[in-house]
Amino acid sequence: MEKITHEALEGASVSQLQTLCEQIREEIFRTVSVRGGHLASNLGVVELTVALHRVFDFPRDKIIFDVGHQCYPHKLLSDRADAFSTLRSRGGISGFPKRAESEYDSYDTGHAGTALSAALGIAKARDLKGENFDVIALIGDGSFNNGLIYEALNSLRLMNTRVLIILNDNGMSISPTVGGTHEVLEELKCGNAPIEDVRLFERYGLEYMGVYAGNDLESLLPVLSEAKRKLQNGSVLLHVTTKKGQGHPFCEQAPDLTHGVSPGKKGREYSTALGEELVSLAKTDKRIVAVTAAMTDALGLRPFFEAFPDRAFDVGICEEHASVLSAALAAEGMRPYYAIYSTFLQRAFDEVIHDVCGQNLPVTFCIDRAGVSGSDGETHQGVFDLSYLAPIPNLTIAIPANISEFRAMLRMSTKMNAPLAIRYPREGEEGAFSPIEIGKFDILHSNMSDIIIYAAGERCLRLAEQIYRRAKEEGIALSVVNARFLKPLDTELLDARPERYVITIEDNALIGGLGDAIARHLRNRGKEIYSFGYGDAFIPHGDARGLFAEFGPNEEKILACVRDCHARG
Amino acid sequence: MEKITHEALEGASVSQLQTLCEQIREEIFRTVSVRGGHLASNLGVVELTVALHRVFDFPRDKIIFDVGHQCYPHKLLSDRADAFSTLRSRGGISGFPKRAESEYDSYDTGHAGTALSAALGIAKARDLKGENFDVIALIGDGSFNNGLIYEALNSLRLMNTRVLIILNDNGMSISPTVGGTHEVLEELKCGNAPIEDVRLFERYGLEYMGVYAGNDLESLLPVLSEAKRKLQNGSVLLHVTTKKGQGHPFCEQAPDLTHGVSPGKKGREYSTALGEELVSLAKTDKRIVAVTAAMTDALGLRPFFEAFPDRAFDVGICEEHASVLSAALAAEGMRPYYAIYSTFLQRAFDEVIHDVCGQNLPVTFCIDRAGVSGSDGETHQGVFDLSYLAPIPNLTIAIPANISEFRAMLRMSTKMNAPLAIRYPREGEEGAFSPIEIGKFDILHSNMSDIIIYAAGERCLRLAEQIYRRAKEEGIALSVVNARFLKPLDTELLDARPERYVITIEDNALIGGLGDAIARHLRNRGKEIYSFGYGDAFIPHGDARGLFAEFGPNEEKILACVRDCHARG
């Protein structure tokens, strides 16, 4: 196969460009098969990206990829074809746009809905500096549900600048796109009501062009040239339809299942337990409802949606709305379970405070992908949730030791009448656990010793057990506690334990996490407290297990700490 | 004057209801003159609220007030007329809807854009429980800029329920409403393009009714009855125009200045200094731009907007978009100053992490109303920002000791090339300060003593000075440090200070604040650390000074701590 180069674009005939598209598809498919990553979304935009690179002049012109999970063809066509096989691996090419990686990446993305705001900022800076280049925001229809897009649309006229929005309409976010905005787009595509809807976009200061076939190079090239011309006079919305997974039979048929692909065999997942337990609980407890922001499958809620379609709400990529909706359902007596990735809950931070905890309402946040989450990198690590949730009054924060304990916490939650956050990583194992009581830790090993380890969450408890075992082999006894509630803390147990040396282990940033909470309670008692977790830096992409060892609590360092404490007696 | 009662509504003629409206206006004006509060927004909805109480059956029917600063007539008409004179005072009636205060308040609000999501949740719970009542979301046109509203609109069809949205269109948020959505609403009002825009709302599953005169009882009553009838078949959007400040000549003329009213004489404000310094800096530094989410005046940016209209952006109530826009402006070389209240920055939390700090971009967040902010209550206190900002990598967090030091920090910020947050209360004084160096504290009193106080922010430093003075009178020497950077901490100074007893004072929640940061650094050194700030509870409304004394760091308790440390030597 020929090397993919940007130079191959210049002067190439349409049929040569089509060949280039096939090369790009093959390269993406081959790499994602090995490295994992976003498959269907990238396969869908190959022709569009090739056409953009032909018509526009990157990196002089700037393109912002909303969410960013469709940037692989762009990476292959800019300066990263040689390194592309390292995709998503530690030190390799990121699966998302990264300014630090290439000047072709104008703006880092990862969370949905930021591209138009970012394009407006870049375009306005261009105007203020008296420069002249084109700014493009490539946005999927799934992101068009997100409130940020409307906030940006609203300020389009105000900003008095020019951007090209390309609406990449494949009818999907990760799950099929849902909601009223989708209806508008569908009508546009059917040609049922073009005039009214086109006028809608004009109100916001956009010239509407569409609908065009986004997987057809021959028609795309002149359309993009036309959009580029129009862009000199004002902002343009170019509406193209693409097929998610285009060019790969299985992806085309199952674009939701091939949105993100993980290589290798998967272990057990907490999400599976979530679905099973919620379905089981909801059979007898009619108050239980489930809420998700476009992540039904990844969060394990599919069985619930099938069993209780009237009590299951996928509101699209709308994390804030999902949070307020949950609060209001709870205000009227329902028991909402809002499942969400740790990193995406950041989007609903204000609503967790203002709507859920401010009113002390029984919403249970099921926070998946907590701790280091892996190959998606900086924008997807879930290492801040303990820190940002800890200061919120009324909130109980639970951290299960294993999948079985997670199940027990879910059962416990139905008896609570207050907000609850349960945070857990993607993968884990079933295991032993003692009965759950809110705010009570679980003592796993209690020995005559001056050293005690408080660890929270499955990864950290596994590490604590390993340290326990290795220390024992060295003749060092210690105690190990499953610190399964960050809030309320088990102050009774903390007060009662006599150990002088306290070690905390957590799968979270050290600033504001479990270590700080325990240290706060144990202040001024002559204890020595050593905390292990993530330092004060963003954590890049790589294998989750490797990142945990490299950036998180480190086995050898903790063991060295244990030995040192033991030596001092 | 007759007492305002709900019973007065029943069987009353329109002219009797008009008299009731005048009574309500007088009561609101009288109370706000004494207690402060939201004046113009409440005066605007008097007729609308009277008509709603006549046509609907509260509290069986539920109404959610978006933002909530227009709920005074509702409070007077439900069960709180007698207590209304206690408005916004400690222990008195809240200026916002509060479920805990009355069963007539269905859902707590305070931040913009939540009402439709909340209405959908309440309506869906009603359906699931097989109950039957009406749910109304009263939303101002200013909130229609907020992304949350669009997220909720998008899920209107999905939720398959019925709500009445009343769009209270007064052309204002706090400042005049801006942006593309406003254009749509203006065209509807002019009757220029009703068909297309009406169809827009229909796409989302709403029957559109409008535009009606919202200050005219005679026309409102039949319109609301009609809306109530239509609501049996599906969701309705009722568009009414009201006059902000209606019935009061000065308010009508200056609705922006009378949106919120503070009683008594005001002191100096940090916001004034912000405007002055930015204007001064921007004259020579063409990179400087200012961004606000609909709070130009309250944040002191008016002079900047007048001096540099091309470099000043009020994007409407869109805190998230403002944050991404700032990041993108910075990515292209500008130096954005994004001024915002502490409590509203919670809305942009994800964007602070993902867009600004993740890309390490030089955006300066000017965080006003930090610490306890007063009479607006739980939803407006700024006591979490140190906690939620502390764990974010790349962010510098500064806390000025007085307005002069704030000015110096702003001047310093132009030399930084990284994200910066400066947090400060509303009021303060000019004062002395030593030259600013990033991450360096300022020693105010250094004495031979075993006790040192680290205090941050003007309120806490004033308190520390008071304690210093009183302790000195008692013959107790201590040292006092202005801990003006939460991040980076002045680890060099912390390492060098010999005092055994360390007292921290902050205008923030104790969980995750300055005390935790200093304690983390000083762990395991035989120090005793005593932290004073806010406990783990939401702080109600009241006078800011009184709330600080009641819920915050308490002078007598700190002094008792000082005496105790001194006694132990």
Among B147, B156, B515, the residue with its CB nearest the CB of A147 is B147
A292-318 average pLDDT score: 97
Smallest CA–CA separation between B50 and chain A, in Å? 25
Give me the pLDDT at residue B116, please: 98
List Cβ neighbours of A116 (8 Å cut-off, separation of 6 or more).
Answer: A66, A137, A139, A148, A149, A152, A153, A156, A163, A165
Residue B42's pLDDT is 95
Do residues A502 and A529 lie in contact, with contact meaning Cβ atoms separated by under 8 Å?
yes
Whether residues A151 and B146 touch (CB distance < 8 A) is answered with yes
Residue A244 bears catalytic tag: yes
3-state secondary structure (DSSP) of residue A138: strand
CB neighbours of residue A450 within 10 Å: 18
Q: Is B347 a catalytic residue?
A: yes
Kindly determine whether residue B183 and residue A157, on different chains, have CB atoms separated by under 8 Å. Answer: yes
If one counts every other C-beta atom within 10 angstroms of the C-beta of residue A188, the result is 23
A236-241: strand order across its sheet = A62-65, A135-140, A164-169, A236-241, A207-213
Tell me the C-alpha distance between B66 and B252, whole Å: 21
Contact A384 B391 (CB under 8 A): yes
Residue A392 to residue B384, Cβ atoms within 8 A: yes
Q: How many CA atoms lie within 13 A of B179 on its CB side?
A: 28
Judge: B394–A122 Cβ closer than 8 Å, yes or no: no
Tokens matching residue B502: 């360390």
The pLDDT, as a whole number, for residue A3 is: 73
Q: Which residue, B425, B417, B405, is CA-closest to B277?
A: B405
CB contact B98 to A (< 8 Å): no
Task: Provide the 3-class DSSP secondary structure of residue A226.
Answer: helix
Test the A interface: residue of B67, B347, B388 with most A CBs within 10 Å: B388
The tens digit of pLDDT for each residue in A7-57 reads 878 889 999 999 999 999 999 999 999 999 999 999 999 999 999 999 999
b or e along B152-180 (b: 16 or more beta carbons within 10 Å of the residue's beta carbon)?
bbbbbbbbebbbbbbbbbbbbbbbbbbbb
What does A417-454 look like in DSSP terms, one character per residue? -S-EEEE--SEE-----PPP-TT--EEEE--SSSEEEE
**Which candidate in A27, A277, A319, A506 is catalytic?**
A319
The single residue listed with the structure tokens 């292990």 is A532
Does residue A455 contact residue A482 with C-beta atoms inside 8 Å?
A: yes
pLDDT at B102: 97
A501, β-bridge pairs: A451, A528
| Contacts A204 to B, Cβ<8 Å | 180, 183
Does any CB of chain B come closer than 8 Å to the CB of residue A157? yes
Contacts of B373 (CB under 8 A, 6+ apart): B341, B342, B343, B380, B381, B382, B425, B426, B544
In the prediction, which pLDDT does B469 show?
Answer: 98
Contact list in A for residue B96 (CB cut-off 8 A) is none
Task: Check if the interface score ipTM surpasses 0.85.
Answer: yes
Which H helix or E strand runs over A91?
none
Diameter over CA atoms, chain A: 81
* pLDDT tens figures, A158-209: 999 999 999 999 876 666 666 677 776 776 676 655 555 666 777 788 999 9
Which whole number is the average pLDDT over A426-435?
A: 96
Of B114, B180, B509, the CB nearest to A153: B180
| Of B88, B98, B244, B423, catalytic | B244
The confidence score (pLDDT) of residue A11 equals 87
Query: What SS3 string covers B265-321?
Result: CCCCEHHHHHHHHHHHHHHHCCCEEEEECCCCCCCCCHHHHHHCHHHEEECCCCHHH
Mind telling me how many Å the CA of A379 is from chain B's nearest CA? 6
Give the residue from A63, A155, A356, A363 with the most B CB atoms within 10 Å of its CB, the best one to mutate. A155
CB A239 within 8 A of CB A72: no
pLDDT at B188: 67
Q: How large is the angle between the packed helices B458-473 and B555-568, nearest 10 degrees?
A: 50
DSSP conformational letter for B524: T
Give me the phi and psi of A75, to 5 degrees please. Answer: -65, -40
Interface contact flag, B346 A350, Cβ < 8 Å: yes
Contact predicate B14/B233, CB 8 Å: no
| Cβ atoms < 10 Å from Cβ of B532 | 23
- Asked if A349 lies within 8 A of B351 by C-beta distance, the reply is no
The mean pLDDT value for A497-501 works out to 98
Q: Is A439 near chain B, with CB under 8 Å?
A: no
Best residue in B65, B203, B206 to probe A by mutation, most A CBs within 10 Å?
Answer: B203
Out of B27, B269, B277, B319, the active site residue is B319
Q: Do A391 and B327 touch (CB under 8 A)?
A: no
- Please check the confidence at residue A349 and state whether its pLDDT lies above 70: yes
Residues in chain B: 569
Q: For residue range B234-292, list pLDDT tens digits in order.
A: 999 999 999 988 888 777 777 777 777 776 667 899 999 999 999 999 999 999 999 99
Question: Cβ contact (<8 Å) for A391 and B289?
Answer: no
Q: The pTM is what?
A: 0.96
pLDDT band at A138 (very low <50, low <70, confident <90, very high): very high
Scanning A298-337 for CB atoms below 8 A from B yields: 310-311, 313-316, 318, 320-321, 324-334
DSSP state of B56: S
Residues A466-491, mean pLDDT to the nearest whole number: 98
Q: Which among B346, B519, B524 is the nearest to A528, CB-wise?
A: B524
Chain B CB contacts of A99 under 8 Å are: 331, 359
Task: Tell me if A325 and B117 make a contact (CB, 8 A cut-off).
Answer: yes
Interface contact flag, B354 A379, Cβ < 8 Å: yes
With CB atoms and an 8 Å threshold, state whether A390 touches B387.
Answer: yes
Closest CA to A274 of A357, A364, A360: A364
- Sequence-ordered list of residues with C-beta below 8 angstroms from that of A169, at least 6 positions apart, any chain: A140, A141, A185, A189, A211, A214, A239, A240, A241, A242
Residues 6+ apart with CB under 8 A from A388: A346, A349, A512, B349, B387, B388, B391
**Residue A172: predicted pLDDT:** 67
> Could you give phi then psi for residue A102, rounded to 5 degrees?
-160, 145
pLDDT band at A79 (very low <50, low <70, confident <90, very high): confident
Digit-coded pLDDT (tens) for A249-298: 777 777 777 777 776 667 899 999 999 999 999 999 999 999 999 999 99
CB pairs under 8 A between A and B: 368
Residue B342 and residue A447: Cα distance in Å, rounded?
47
For the CA atoms of B80, B83, B87, B93, the dihedral, rounded to the nearest 10 degrees, stands at -60
Residue A279 contacts residue A307 (beta carbons within 8 Å)? yes
Answer yes or no: do B148 and A149 touch at CB < 8 A: no
Contact at CB, B332 and A157, closer than 8 angstroms = no
Q: Residues of chain B whose pLDDT is less than 70?
A: 1-2, 172-178, 184, 187-188, 190-199, 263-265
Instruction: Return d(Cα A450, Cα A565) in angstroms, integer.
Output: 8
Confidence of residue A471 (pLDDT cuts 50, 70, 90): very high
Q: Outline where DSSP puts E strands in A43-180.
A: 62-65, 135-140, 164-169
B101 phi/psi in degrees, rounded to 5: -90, -35
Q: Nearest residue on chain A to B320, judged by CA atoms?
A: A148
pLDDT reported for residue B75: 97
CA distance B550 to A268: 50
Residues in chain A: 569
Mean pLDDT of A76-99: 96
Identify the sign of the CA torsion A259, A260, A261, A267.
negative
Identify whether B363 is preceded by a cis peptide bond (ω within 30 of 0): no
Cα separation, B515 vs B490, in Å, equals 13
Residues 513-542 of A with CB under 8 A from B: 513, 515-517, 519-520, 523-524, 528-531, 536-538
Cβ of B28 under 8 Å from any chain A Cβ?
A: no
Q: Do B128 and A311 touch (CB under 8 A)?
A: yes
Between CA A197 and CA B444 the distance in angstroms is 64
* In chain B, % of residues over pLDDT 90: 86
Which of A61, A66, A150, A296 to substitute to test the interface with B, most B CBs within 10 Å? Answer: A150
> A479: which strand partners?
A452
CA distance B87 to chain A (A): 20
In the numeric block, the tokens 């994007």 are attached to B315
Q: Which residues of chain A neighbour B289 with C-beta distances below 8 Å?
A: 128
- Look at residues A127, A136, A142, A130 and name the one whose alpha carbon lies nearest to residue A44: A142
The nearest CA of chain B is from the CA of A272 a distance in Å of: 25
